[in-house]
């Protein structure tokens, strides 16, 4: 059995990942692919407990503690969900993965990228997504969308400069790994973004289901 494919969706808060994630999943299922949908932080029982801590507005912690908790959640996520699904030939679609740690903990919180890189290598070894869709929008637009949300989490309520640093870190990652991370202009209409996503999905060589 061939291994499956690993697709991740990234972007600053308000970029519209959730809407496009539904489209990606439907597209794959339309091709007859077995799909596992997950998210970070989270994806497992322990991961969801850590997610509650990390997103709680009352939580106060050192930036490196935040990074360590993110990777603790990721280690469980890989062990319990991602790796087994890929070994079974399934297609894993995740709302965020390690690029988010470089963006939020690295760019936003200022955690040294070398330290994050060490955690990345320790936790996931050589495993990287087959395709990462980075939905890019100006911070001001993302914040407009986020402000429409009644209850914002610990990251969503951060100041403008935090989100600007997050976006810049995402852009830097995309420039470092252009073969994997594809930038999608999320300022377009939902339909236009969907068409761009479909074009990127069609470029990938998908394993046929057995």
Q: How confident is the model at residue 192 (pLDDT cuts 50, 70, 90)?
A: very high
- pLDDT at residue 208 in the model: 52
Specify the pTM. 0.93
- Angle (CA) 6 111 128, round 5°: 15
pLDDT(1) > 70: no
Taking alpha carbons only, the member of 44, 24, 136, 31 closest to residue 84 is 44
Q: What class has domain 6-202? A: alpha beta
By CB atoms closer than 10 A (0-12, 13-18, 19+), residue 10 is buried
| Contact (CB, 8 A) for 107 and 67 | no
Alpha helix (H) residue ranges in 31-105? 45-55, 63-77, 83-87, 98-100
Cis peptide before 41 (omega within 30 of 0): yes
pLDDT tens for residues 81-114? 999 999 999 999 999 999 999 999 999 999 999 9
pLDDT tens for residues 119-166? 999 999 999 999 999 999 999 888 888 777 657 789 988 889 999 999
pLDDT tens for residues 38-94? 999 999 999 999 999 999 999 999 999 999 999 999 999 999 999 999 999 999 999
Torsions phi, psi of 37, nearest 5?
Answer: -105, 130
pLDDT tens for residues 16-39? 898 899 999 999 999 999 999 999
Segments making up each domain of the chain, as ranges: 6-202
- pLDDT at residue 144 in the model: 83
- pLDDT at residue 129 in the model: 97
């Amino acid at each position: 059995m061939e291994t499956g494919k690993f697709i991740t969706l990234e972007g600053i808060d308000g970029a519209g990942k959730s809407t496009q994630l539904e489209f990606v999943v439907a597209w794959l299922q339309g091709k007859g692919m077995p799909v596992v949908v997950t998210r970070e932080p989270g994806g497992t029982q322990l991961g969801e407990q850590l997610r509650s801590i990390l997103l709680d507005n009352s939580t106060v912690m050192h930036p490196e503690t935040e990074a360590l908790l993110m990777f603790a959640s990721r280690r469980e996520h890989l062990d319990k969900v991602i790796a087994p699904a890929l070994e079974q030939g399934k297609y894993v679609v995740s709302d965020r993965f390690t690029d988010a740690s470089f963006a939020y903990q690295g760019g936003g919180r200022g955690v040294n990228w070398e330290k994050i890189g060490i955690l990345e290598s320790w936790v996931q070894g050589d495993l990287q997504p087959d395709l990462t869709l980075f939905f890019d929008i100006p911070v001001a637009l993302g914040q407009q969308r986020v402000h429409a949300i009644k209850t914002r989490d610990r990251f969503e309520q951060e100041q403008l400069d935090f989100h600007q640093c997050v976006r810049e870190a995402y852009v830097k990652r995309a420039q470092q790994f252009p073969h994997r991370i594809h930038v999608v202009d999320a300022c377009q209409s939902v339909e236009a973004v969907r068409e761009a996503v479909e074009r990127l999905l069609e470029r990938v060589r998908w394993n046929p289901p057995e």
